[in-house]
Amino acid sequence: MNFSQFGTAFVLGIGLVAAAHAEGLCKSGEAAIFNCKLQKSISSLCRSSDARVLTYRNGIEGRLNLEISDGGGERRRVFHFSNIPYSGGGEVHIRFSRSGYTYFIYDKTVKSDDGTISSAGVVVYKSDKKISDLVCGNDASIREVAYHVITKEAYRAIGAR
């Protein structure tokens, strides 16, 4: 193998390793719909490669705080999608619940005098009281596929930052 062939093989090998690496807390064979780096953890919503199962995970690599899955297909509708357009932006939510807590992952863009302001994060309610509003430290957004694969519901304001 000459130097040129070695270089090509090396670059292709790096590309395959990068393609096999999962984003955030998604596992190999899953694609991230949302990946948010919080101050002390990561929140990821992942879609299985066969597009049948959605799973939300929060935690750090090697230790999960929370994992919620829809089990795939139409059997259990765990995740609910809503959005509202704004002049110069909009807001998107994905809602899910467990054990008396309701979680919203969100992505919003609003127009300001200085341009647009974008934010994303996780808002948590216990009953009707907001107990947490965490903002992503990375450029997180809810991917377009969510608009097509998650059960839609009416929009309601969640008071996200």
Q: What is the phi/psi pair of residue 8, to 5°? A: -65, -45
Give a yes or no: residue 113 inside a domain.
Answer: yes
pLDDT in tens, 46-99: 999 887 899 999 999 889 999 999 876 554 689 999 999 988 899 999 999 999
Total structural domains within the chain: 1
Answer yes or no: is 15 within a domain. Answer: yes
7 token code pair: 């270089």
- Domain assignment of residue 158, yes or no: no
Structural tokens at position 98: 């467990």
Residue 5: per-residue pLDDT: 46
Give the start-end residues of each E strand in 70-128. 80-86, 89-98, 101-112, 115-126
Q: What angle do CA 118, 124, 128 make, to 5 degrees?
A: 120
> Is 16 among the domain residues?
yes
How many angstroms separate the CA atoms of 43 and 121, rounded?
9
Domain that holds residue 106: 3-152
